[in-house]
Structure 1
Amino acid sequence: MIIEAQGYRLELAPERGGSVLRLDWHGEPLMRPACGNTIFDVASFPLVPFSNRIARGCFNTGARRGTIAPNFPGSDHPHPLHGFGWLAAWQVTEQGEDHAVLEHVYPGGEWPWPYRARQTFQLGAWGVVTSISVTNLGDATMPAGLGFHPYFPRDAATVYRGFHRGEWYNTPDCLPSSLDEQDEAIDWWQGEPVDARAVDTAYTGREGALEIDWPTRGLGLTILPSDELSTTVVFSPKGEDYFCVEPVTHATDAINRTPETMAWLEPGETASVSMTISARQLA
């Protein structure tokens, strides 16, 4: 399905994890267009009801405990990640020329809390606003995290700017090991191109917007996450033509390590986040 407005064109695949297949502005790709048949080949997918990895899939909130099976498609990676929405089919509940609403309901299971998730996409002169919410449909308090997992095109000159106070160092299997925290938010790339650092980690204490510039294309974009999205996961694999900038509510394995950074929803309660992506021409 496709929605368009003000030069923005968004192609969605509800049946494929509620994902974005491509986002263009006046014909220029802002996200990496879908390039294959797996969920990792889409332009963006939603993160619900948690972000990133849960160590060995095990958690114990005191009231509830459980184990989630590994869910990394095509891999034996031991830590399930990104929740359940990205691997589920979503239903279209509303669609117009410039907007769409998708819904995914999880009945409970390995994650012992049933929930309803919604994504809303709205296009306009301000850009593309994407929101995601999760509602606790169960009878007990549910921990919840939300986020977005967009992929962006990258060449040797691509620059990413995001100001954060902390950077997590990871173990080889991408679990947090230690936090390097500064007195103030800094640009951890120090203005250098994305290629200068190969990372797959979380940055905490975000301040302000996130920006990407493609000087060779004369194009840039600004990502403005809502305040709840205080953490940014960056995945910049060496030698690839893409990278990910993921606004999220909490760092990796938060349910076990920093549960206070998750939302704790009473039965019937809803948490929601949003991000606005706007394109700009470089001078």
Structure 2
Amino acid sequence: MVARTGATILSWQVPGEDGELVDLSDGYRSGQELNARDGFRNAVLAPWSNRIRDGRYTWRGTEYDVQPGETGVRDGLHGLVSQADFELRGDAGAAEPRLTLVTSIAPDEHAGYPFSVDVTVTYGLETGADGQPTLTVELTATNTGDEDAPAGLGWHPYFRLPGHETIDDLELSVPARTRVIIDEGLIPLPGDAAFETVEPAGDIGLGPVGDAVVDQAFTDLIPGSDGSVTSVIRSPRTGDSLTLRQDPDESRIVHVFTGDILARDRRASMAVEPCSFGADTLNRDPEAMTLAPGSTRRLRAEVVYRRG
């Protein structure tokens, strides 16, 4: 089930062990929750993900403020489309169920972002070779203006496994060489101080999660033999797992959040988020986000559920 608001997944249900449907996605349960955006459950993040220091950035010599006049929390969190009205577009020729939604960001629509960008979201439901239910996600951002624009993408899904009321007994592995070190405002430290090498390389794991509180990004991702990066949530008790695959050339970041400050059902699920760029890239390295007129940036992910 998908809401047009934000192109937000509300639920992803699959047959459980007893044949009854189980929901692997911890989405919003009401229009009120969707409008409140607490936790950005399953949100599409565009044209940037995560935070901007003080809600300000400089692009080509001009400073922009995405929160003018605001004196509270100024972190420019998670882009501009989480409450946008997306237009539905069918995909009648697809062999598997697919849903495409599109919205446009106009240059005079949002403070601090005077660029024209179209955002397209395509969800697909597939069955793997061994019968595994699979959710596919493709996000694109296309520069429809006449000048270069900074643009990135991200996806903020929350996952859970059947038979677990909380994430505490679950295991998580992320194949990365580097963790991002942040300050009290969850902004990366300046320069190279923001990066800490994981030893041994790729050995980032929580098993079990226990009472660990995590809201951190990982980078220098390590692809497997098929070229994709695979992050895995697994139940050691049932053997069930969810595998998130992403292309390391398109999405350089995996951000993990254990849901400790959610308004509803804290730690009932965890967010494992593929993102094009890390927090505050609009200040750290804005040119890396350059999207030329007529060009498109993509982020593709695949989530596979396996029963133990």
TM-score bucket (shorter structure): 0.7 to 0.9
Instruction: Give the superposition deviation at 1:259.
Output: 2.8
Distance 2:239 2:197 in 1: 34
What TM-score results when the alignment is normalised by the length of structure 2?
Answer: 0.80
Decide whether the 8 Å contact of 2:198 with 2:204 is kept in 1: no
Instruction: Give the superposition deviation at 1:62.
Output: 1.6
Look up the SS of the partner of 2:181 in the other structure. strand
Distance 2:246 2:104 in 1: 24
Aligned residue among 123, 127, 135 for 1:128: 135
Decide whether the 8 Å contact of 1:168 with 1:176 is kept in 2: yes
Distance 2:54 2:179 in 1: 22
Aligned residue among 223, 228, 246 for 2:244: 223
**Cα distance change on mapping 1:33 and 1:115 into 2, 3 Å:** closer
Look up the SS of the partner of 1:256 in the other structure. helix
2:72 matched residue in structure 1: 76
Aligned residue among 203, 206, 219 for 2:221: 206
2:121 matched residue in structure 1: 119
Decide whether the 8 Å contact of 1:20 with 1:42 is kept in 2: no
Q: Give CA-to-partner distance per residue, 1:45-71, whole Å, 9 cap, x none.
A: 11111110111111112254311018x
Instruction: Give the superposition deviation at 1:21.
Output: 0.2
Name the stretch that deviates more: 200-209 or 56-65.
56-65
Q: How does 1:58-77 map to 2 (within 5 A)?
A: 58-62=56-60, 64-69=62-67, 76-77=72-73
2:208 matched residue in structure 1: 193
Structure showing greater radius of gyration is: 2
What TM-score results when the alignment is normalised by the length of structure 1?
Answer: 0.86
2:226 matched residue in structure 1: none
1:142 matched residue in structure 2: 149
Look up the SS of the partner of 1:176 in the other structure. coil
1:6 matched residue in structure 2: none
Instruction: Give the superposition deviation at 1:41.
Output: 6.2
**What percentage of residue pairs aligned between the two structures are identical?**
25
Decide whether the 8 Å contact of 2:254 with 2:273 is kept in 1: yes
Aligned residue among 27, 31, 34 for 2:25: 31
Distance 1:205 1:179 in 2: 10
Decide whether the 8 Å contact of 2:254 with 2:274 is kept in 1: yes
Distance 1:122 1:223 in 2: 14
Amino acid at match of 2:72: D
Decide whether the 8 Å contact of 1:35 with 1:41 is kept in 2: no
2:272 matched residue in structure 1: 245
2:169 matched residue in structure 1: 157
2:106 matched residue in structure 1: 107
Amino acid at match of 2:55: G
RMSD of equivalent CA atoms: 2.4
Decide whether the 8 Å contact of 1:200 with 1:233 is kept in 2: yes
Instruction: Give the superposition deviation at 1:106.
Output: 0.9
Q: Give CA-to-partner distance per residue, 1:146-202, whole Å, 9 cap, x none.
A: 11100123432111111111111221221112221247632323x522235312121
1:171 lines up with 2:183 in the alignment: yes
Distance 2:156 2:174 in 1: 16
Amino acid at match of 1:135: T
Amino acid at match of 1:187: D
Decide whether the 8 Å contact of 1:221 with 1:277 is kept in 2: yes
Name the stretch that deviates more: 155-164 or 271-280.
155-164
**Cα distance change on mapping 1:85 and 1:184 into 2, 3 Å:** farther
**Cα distance change on mapping 1:141 and 1:184 into 2, 3 Å:** farther
Distance 1:32 1:147 in 2: 17
Amino acid at match of 1:103: V
Distance 1:55 1:120 in 2: 30
2:2 matched residue in structure 1: 12
1:275 lines up with 2:301 in the alignment: yes
Name the stretch that deviates more: 231-240 or 110-119.
231-240
